[in-house]
Amino acid sequence: MNLNIKYFGRIVEITGVDEERLECSDSINLAEFRSLLLSRYYPDLKGESFQIAVDQEVKSEDFRIDKDCELAILPPFAGG
């Protein structure tokens, strides 16, 4: 399945891109996706705080992705 991933805020400083497409052969839950993103793609994301929205809905870590979707990686912003 195709995962269209959008990065926001300071996460973009780490990934270097604000949007990318990743392919994933098996269904995975968000906790697994999170550790995959950290271990395989962006180790510097370790310690960053972010929520993951699946098709515009923030989901808990046990939510399972099993079809093409859009993932938004959402850190909090501090500025005011």
Partner 1 sequence: MQFYHHLPEANMLSRDENKRYSRHVILDKVGMEGQLKLKAAKVLVIGAGGLGCPTLQYLTAAGVGTIGIIDFDKIDISNLQRQILFTPQDLGKNKAEIAAEHLKQLNEHVIFQVYPERLTAENALELFAAYDLVIDGTDNFSTRYLVNDAAVLTNKPLVYGSIYKFQGQVSVFNYENGPTYRCVFPIPPKAGTIKNCSEIGVIGVLSGIIGTQQANEAIKITLGIGTTLSGHLLIYDALKATYMKVAVKKSDDEVQKTLDLKASFKTQDYDLFCGVNTAEKSHEITGEYLKQLLNNDNIRIVDLREEWEEPQLEGSNVERIIMSELQEKMDRFKTDKIVVLVCQTGTRSNNVKQLVEQTLQQSDIKELKGGMEKYGK
Number of C-beta neighbours around residue 7 at 10 A: 23
Q: CA nearest 13: which of 79, 78, 75?
A: 75
In the bound state with partner 1, the residue whose beta carbon lies nearer, of 1 and 9, is: 9
Residues that bind partner 1 (CB under 8 A): 6, 8-10, 46-49, 51, 53, 56-58, 72, 74-80
User: Cβ of residue 25: shortest distance to partner 1, in angstroms?
Assistant: 27
In the bound state with partner 1, the residue whose beta carbon lies nearer, of 12 and 24, is: 12
d(CA 60, CA 73): 13
